[in-house]
Amino acid sequence: MAQTEVSTAPGQMAATAPRSRQVDAPRWSYLLFVLPFLVFFVLLLVIPLFWGMWLSLTKADLFGPGKFLGIDNYVRLFKDKIFIGAIWNTVYFVILTVPALAVIGLALALVLNRPTRTATVLRAIFFASTVLSVTIVTLIWRVVLIPDMGLMAAIYSWFGAKSPSFLSSAQLAMPSIAVATIWWCIGLPMMLFLAALQQVPREIYEAAALDNANRWRTLWFITLPSIRRTFVLVIIIQIVMQFQLFGQAQLMTQGGPNNASRPIVLYIYDVAFKRFDVGMGAAASEVLFALILVAAMAQYFVSRRRGED
């Protein structure tokens, strides 16, 4: 009886109140609330995105788009050995930094995830490098790596060895930039992992302790699966960030020696703002965009396939 009444109620409502609207009907007046954001989003993100795509298809210079070229810019780009080298340099740099940032960040978080004063101080210290500007960071590392006088030279001399010239060696330039970058960027992954670790219920660790799990098995079977999502997040954030390497390479090696440490963004900068070939710079930007997108999505899908919670 009660059910019948309920089921007929909307019909009665409609009959007596024909002007009432459906609950799930869109209300366009609500758009006003998101309009301020939407304006900036479209102006600053959507339009530049498509503008960049358009520029990459034209013979653009700093004064604006020129003749439509189709995919000529891309063809020129992939014929340019320096650009191909820059792609490999960037990928190499990402491979050097991203796993290291994730692993070291996690290790620091695991060690510092305790409510002691020392841990709090150390957390602040490890995070401190993140707030420095790239100029300061590269200055510090140039002092560390400078041949004959730097910190590394001093360390090598303790063992009676002569330090290599890190920044002017084709083999060592990129790893050196990677080390400086890891030192600079380690704070964020550490903080994200700390936040994630503190979300894992203590009871689960207690259950594991009662289940006789040693530290290694607790880490492997309890902690890591519990923070898997954060791990994916850290990897994706770092992929996106490290593919955009620019400042460190520009300030430490200027892409040298012989383009050995030239990343894609530095290439874009040189082409677009030094050679004023904005079209080709835009094309290189689109390639970088695609690379970041593919890498981040691949990481996302690979980790998603490995079982859901």
**Which residues form the interface with another protein (CB under 8 A)?**
201, 203-204, 206-214, 217, 221-222, 225-226, 228, 307, 309
Q: Which residue has the tokens 């009676």?
A: 160
For residue 101, the minimal CB distance to another protein (Å) is 24
**Between 142 and 228, whose beta carbon lies closer to another protein?**
228
**Between 164 and 225, whose beta carbon lies closer to another protein?**
225
For residue 207, the minimal CB distance to another protein (Å) is 4
**Between 162 and 217, whose beta carbon lies closer to another protein?**
217
Contacts of 97 (CB under 8 A, 6+ apart): 178, 181, 182, 185, 238, 242
**Between 169 and 226, whose beta carbon lies closer to another protein?**
226
**Between 81 and 117, whose beta carbon lies closer to another protein?**
117
Please, what is the Cα angle at 185 between 183 and 187, to 5 degrees?
A: 95
For residue 199, the minimal CB distance to another protein (Å) is 12
**H helical segments located in the chain:** 2-16, 31-41, 47-55, 72-79, 81-112, 117-128, 134-145, 151-158, 173-185, 187-199, 202-210, 215-218, 224-226, 228-242, 247-252, 264-269, 278-305
For residue 222, the minimal CB distance to another protein (Å) is 6
**Between 68 and 220, whose beta carbon lies closer to another protein?**
220
For residue 121, the minimal CB distance to another protein (Å) is 21
Six-digit token string for 18: 């024909």
Six-digit token string for 49: 């995105």
Q: Are 244 and 103 in contact (CB under 8 A)?
A: no
For residue 307, the minimal CB distance to another protein (Å) is 8
Q: Are 101 and 246 in contact (CB under 8 A)?
A: no
